[in-house]
Amino acid sequence: MTPADATSPAENANIDGTSAPQDLTDGFHLIIDALKLNGLNTIYGVPGIPITDFGRMAQAEGIRVFSFRHEQNAGNAAAIAGYLTKKPGICLTVSAPGFLNGLTALAHATTNCWPMILLSGSSEREIVDLQQGDYEEMDQLAIAKPLCKAAYRILHAQDIGIGVARAIRAAVSGRPGGVYLDLPAKLFGQVMDAAAGAKSLVKVIDPAPKQLPAPDAVERALEVLKGAKRPLIILGKGAAYAQADDTLREFVEKSGIPYLAMSMAKGLLPDDHPLSAGAARSLALKDCDVVMLIGARLNWLLSHGKGKQWGTEPKKIVQIDIEPKEMDSNLEIAAPIVGDIGSCVAALLDAMGSDWRATYPEWTATVREKAESNIAKMAPRLMNNNVPMDYHGALGALKPIIKAHPDTILVNEGANTLDFARSIIDMYKPRKRLDVGTWGVMGIGMGTAIAAAVETGQKVLAVEGDSAFGFSGMEVETICRYNLPVCVIVFNNNGIYRGTDVNPTGGPDVAPTVFVKDARYDIMMQAFGGVGVNATTPDELSRAVNEFLASGRPTLINAVIDPQSGTESGRIGNLNPQSVVSKK
């Protein structure tokens, strides 16, 4: 098919010169049909030129279209939708500024290895390329390219089918990531024969094919595990993404190896599983002799596999990842297994046969004892009733609620609010904990909570630092507008890390980390018809959350936290550069 097949309505005469009506379709409808054909039935975005009508038509055609107050939040919704469903989450933005707002989320999705497609309207090529100053002019494709996994532009209606197919396959195959699809305004109105249009659409067959591991890689890995005395499995969010939950659990249990779950992998096996080394993390990392990484990278979150945290003994590393380039990225990998986690773990189980015995009884007992003693040490702190609440008191109130409602999705961002919640609140089911991911980015909260509610139908608790919440807080209107079962709990300590800093000059400006004291975030929710609660004690907090779990109504709880109780940067204060001069 050539570009000449796409015509404007005026050119739509029959071959015999009569003007009998012909069945037509256009760019708008072809994009919608292409998405629907591939099971992409939800769009997160912000309307405006040139995509306003596209959003209306998509809704009319049965796609759920969620309008946000800022594209970054819509993009974060699409990113987490991709993580939860293994299908690309779709974000829709207007040109230049809207596109740039969405781009941060696309880069975030790519960094986290989640499939997402950013569909953005763009200005006319002729004007953009000559830099003649079009409305919202920007060479979006060029800007998107270095920030995502793949970027494409569709210029002709008859290429929409193949363009959308490419975007889908690029997003979900291999290591998943973000894809940019540039849609110039003129494309939407381009007309073509409806039958030819329908034929031009592509339903992507097997978009993320299984990638089987090489048998010798599997054998090599098992040899390393057999030689281990103190092995440790580290589960990452790639393992959660893979949705091979039963196989993975069978492998961990059959191997008898203690495991650590990275933040978003928590719950892949329940955190109270006897092989969980979560509460003995320091000991497990320091003393293990073999590490098996499953869908986790040796990046900053694991100190690149180096330093004090990892003890002095060299470790042998087994790694399962779909991305071959991930191997040896930071340290030598003794046994790389390249493939998808479902296939790799199944192959390992197969090769282990029926006579594989767990042979690390001393090690598992040591890890277990340490974990239990740490849990016992922590318990009284979680029961404290201090007013104002500290992090332990407030999270101690939330912990048993999640245990009683293990299907609830926990969204979490902040510094102290993030780090304490991650270690205190146990998860019991896969993909229930959604957080700041690889970048430790603030602002994922409301977009993530909205998409989690939409995609799973479950109730969502978003535990948010007051600073973190501010990045996407306006979306409480969106939560109310769509009447979503989301309860936002703002851990309000009057600022970033702590609300107690002072301006050393004595001037009228407060310190850079301090917010308005005793702010009432709950009233924001009331402004849009949701439930707002001010909670000053663990009891009030529990009661408000339980009321939300009973009603499912949009709720915001302002949890008053002692501004003294946090620490600088939560658990990662060591990453702050230090000034020798200011310490004089």
Burial of 210 (C-beta count, 10 Å sphere; 0-12/13-18/19+): exposed
β-pair partners for 517: none
Which C-beta is closer to ligand ADP: that of 242 or that of 346?
242
Answer yes or no whether residue 570 interacts with ligand TZD by CB under 6 A.
yes
Interacting residues toward ligand ADP by CB under 6 A: 112-113, 175, 236-238, 241-242, 262, 264-265, 295-297, 299, 301, 321-323, 326, 340-341, 438
Element of type H or E holding 550: helix 538-551
First to last CA, the chain: 73
The 3-state secondary structure of 451-483, one letter per residue: HHHHHHCCCEEEEEEHHHHHCCHHHHHHHHHCC
72 makes contact with ligand TZD (CB under 6 A):
no
Binding mask 411-430 for ligand TZD (x = CB under 6 A): ---xxxx-------------
- Shorter beta-carbon distance to ligand TZD: residue 576 or 579: 576
Q: At what angle do helices 391-404 and 416-424 cross, to 10 degrees?
A: 50
- Residue 237 C-beta: closest distance to ligand ADP, Å: 4
Binding pattern to Mg ion, positions 320-359, x when CB under 5 A? ----------------------------------------
Instruction: Give me the torsion for CA of 472, 474, 476, 479, rounded to 10°.
Output: -80
- Contacts (Cβ under 8 Å, ≥6 apart) of 362: none
165/463 with CB nearer ligand TZD: 463
Residue 291 main-chain phi, psi, to 5 deg: -120, 135
User: In the numeric block, which tokens belong to residue 553?
Assistant: 């109504």
Q: How far is the CB of 419 from ligand TZD (least distance, A)?
A: 8
Amino acid letter, residue 71 = E
Please pick, from the candidates 271, 287, 466, 522, the single residue that binds ligand TZD as defined by CB under 6 A.
Answer: 466
Residue 441 interacting with ligand TZD (CB under 6 A): yes
Q: Out of 497, 522, 532, 533, which residue is the one contacting ligand TZD (CB under 6 A)?
A: 497
Q: What track of x and - describes contact with Mg ion for positions 415 through 454 (by CB under 5 A)?
A: ----------------------------------------
> Residue 272: helix, strand or coil by DSSP?
coil
Residues 6+ away with beta carbon under 8 Å from 465: 413, 414, 415, 416, 417, 418, 442, 490, 491, 493, 496
- The site partner of 393 among Mg ion, ligand ADP, ligand TZD, none (C-beta below 5 to 8 Å per kind) is none
Residue 468 engages ligand TZD in binding (rule: CB under 6 A): yes
Position 496 contacts ligand TZD (CB under 6 A): yes
Site string for ligand TZD, 446-465 (x = CB under 6 A): -------------------x
CA 104 to chain CA centroid, Å, is: 13
Contacted entry of ligand ADP, Mg ion, ligand TZD, none for residue 443, CB cut-off 5 to 8 Å set by kind = ligand TZD
CA 524, 526, 530, 536 dihedral sign is positive
Region of 80-88, 434-442, 526-534, 550-558 interacting with ligand TZD (CB under 6 A): 434-442
Name every residue whose Cβ is closer than 8 Å to that of residue 153 and which is 6 or more positions away in sequence. 122, 141, 181, 182, 183, 184
Decide if residue 466 touches Mg ion (CB under 5 A).
yes
Cis amide bond preceding 115, omega within 30: no
Least distance CB 475 / ligand TZD (angstroms): 15
Instruction: Write the CB contacts of 480 (distance below 8 Å, at least 6 apart in sequence).
Output: 525, 528, 529, 530, 554
- Give least dist CB 362 to ligand ADP, A: 28
- Binding string, 98-117, against ligand TZD, x = CB under 6 A? --------------------
Shortest approach of Mg ion to residue 465 CB, angstroms? 4
Smallest distance, Mg ion to C-beta of residue 401, A: 21
Name the residue whose CB lies closest to ligand ADP.
238
Per the CB < 8 A criterion, the answer to whether 91 and 119 are in contact is yes
Q: Can you give the binding site for Mg ion, defined by CB under 5 A?
A: 465-466, 493
Report the interface residues with ligand TZD, using CB under 6 A. Answer: 414-417, 440-443, 465-468, 491, 493, 496-497, 566, 570
